[in-house]
Amino acid sequence: MTPSTVVVGVDSSTQSTKAAFTDAATGRLLALGRAPHRVTGGAGARESDPEEWWRALGEAVAAGLRESGVAASAVTGIAVAGQQHGLVVLDGAGRPLRPALLWNDTRSAPQAAALTRALGGPAAWTERTGSVPVASMTAAKWQWLREHEPYAAESAAAVRLPHDFLTERLAGVAATDPGDASGTCWYSTATGAYDAEILGLVGLDERLLPPVAPTGATRVGSLTRAAARRLGLPEGIAVAAGTGDNMAAAVGLGLGGAGLLDHPVLSLGTSGTVFAATRTRPASPALAGFASADGGYLPLACTLNCTLAVDKVAALLGLDREDAAPGGEAVLLPYLDGERTPDLPAASGVLTGLRHATTPRQLLGAAYEGAAVTVLRALDELVRACGLD
């Protein structure tokens, strides 16, 4: 039976975009379109051209339409969940002034440390925003831009998160949501608004930021004519505020609201992430104290090195991911891109325990084990800090 009402959920992640076509009446997944985009940079730099996200969104939607076989006229709404923390600076016409600084760009670690001190230390930040600045957070990246590329910062007519950039391209209006906004370190989970003192600290005019849609808002605008032509979808369909990727994952897993509370979740991808939906605002400097997409909170710990570290080791050894064997005595600390949990942005990988009998497959296994141990340590911190044991 051909569905009469279809919605499109977009995941714009670090390395690709996916567009899920879902039957709104039954929740059945009809198709999943995909398209890649590039990450560039070395020595701590990780950047992407936001225009590639827009191109990939169009390609993923087109692929989903083909795979699903549904008529474009059946699509009634679209929303974007995106990688958190990335910094997008736009000119007056909505064009990127430079490539976006991604969440795993660690160059802003010195700025994060300086901001932490400037406001009075980790406890002061946790009390106001729920999170302590680390290199991943948008406020640190904005401060890095001000110090290293002042012309780009001074020329910015708008400052956006990755999912905000795409939502604005779809609807023609600026909007964000509390979940993704809480990953900036200039939005207060205590007050549910941008923090004026912190914006003053980083020299950012609030008028450059998108309005924060109320939690639970289902629509911030309608698909514009230009976006409809680009995506091959009907003009005027609903565009929702969307949220950050972790907040969207929590919704998809049934966490928060009438679903599971205080139930830890472990997610493995480019990064390793652990989080839980809570009704109590967390206060641990070791965690990111995000807002959830349903009015609650989403305490979270994230490691930078998960599948990326495993894939790098596999590539160096000429192996496939599946070729691993138990590491034996070999131990690999997989901090290839520095690390976020624990906060060690300048760290590097370490390999120890080599023997004459060590095999390439064991080295790959050690990479898996190192990534797993790092994520499990983060899970232990989440359980301890939130009293989930």
CA distance 346 to 339: 8
CA distance 217 to 239: 11
Same fold, 6-250 and 262-389: yes
pLDDT band at 269 (very low <50, low <70, confident <90, very high): confident
Q: Is 294 a catalytic residue?
A: no
pLDDT band at 294 (very low <50, low <70, confident <90, very high): confident
Going through the chain in order, the beta strands assigned E by DSSP cover 6-12, 16-23, 29-36, 47-48, 75-82, 88-90, 100-101, 158-160, 187-188, 193-194, 221-222, 238-239, 243-244, 265-268, 272-275, 288-291, 297-303, 331-333, 350-352
pTM of the model: 0.89
Percent share of the chain, pLDDT over 70: 98
pLDDT score, position 258: 60
Residue 214 predicted with pLDDT over 90: no
Task: Point out the catalytic residue in the list 23, 105, 245, 337.
Answer: 245
Q: Is residue 295 a contact partner of residue 215, using CB atoms and an 8 Å limit? A: yes
CA distance 300 to 379: 9
CA distance 259 to 251: 9
Residue 204 predicted with pLDDT over 90: yes
Domain 6-250 has CATH 3.30.420.40: yes
pLDDT band at 285 (very low <50, low <70, confident <90, very high): confident
CB atoms closer than 10 angstroms to residue 134: 25
Residue 85 predicted with pLDDT over 90: yes
CA distance 215 to 248: 13
Q: Is residue 144 a contact partner of residue 112, using CB atoms and an 8 Å limit? A: no
CA geometry: angle 140, 146, 149, nearest 5 deg = 120
Segment among 165-174, 363-372, 376-385 with least mean pLDDT: 376-385
Q: What is the pLDDT of residues 250-262, one digit of tens each?
A: 988 888 766 677 8
Residue type, 216: G
Q: What is the pLDDT of residues 92-109, one digit of tens each?
A: 999 999 999 999 999 999
Give the residue extent of every domain in the chain: 6-250, 262-389
**Which 3 state secondary structure label does DSSP give 214?**
coil
The CATH number of domain 262-389, selected from 3.20.20.10, 3.30.420.40, 3.40.50.1000, 1.20.200.10: 3.30.420.40
